[in-house]
Amino acid sequence: MRFFEFLSEGIGWLKIVASPLIAGAIIGALVYSFSENTVGLFVGIAITLLGLIIGIIWATRIWKKQGAMEFLSRINSSHEIDNLDKTKVKK
């Protein structure tokens, strides 16, 4: 069972890394589209790599602190459904 736990944590880690990486790639592409020369290309690549580095650091901290899948499940949970028994439904 340990292998599947590690596999799911790894997939969760990749999902967390993907968020800042995609944001960095979009910003880098915008920078390059405004300045389509070698300087713009290097700045765009640097911003994308910065997003990747931030994503790796963030995902590793989350994995060590609480677990990537627990973090993702808390983000994706619906708090309204959790408190459904406590609220009264009016008809």
Tell me, yes or no, if the pTM score tops 0.75: yes
pLDDT in tens, the chain (91 residues): 698 988 999 999 999 999 999 999 999 999 999 988 999 999 999 999 999 999 999 999 999 999 888 888 888 777 666 666 665 555 5
C-alpha distances (whole Å) from 36 to each of 17, 31, 42, 48, 91 are 27, 8, 10, 16, 61
Residue 25 confidence (pLDDT): 96
- What phi and psi values does residue 88 have, to the nearest 5 degrees? -95, 135
Domain boundaries, the chain: 2-82
**What's the distance, CA 65 to chain centroid?**
16
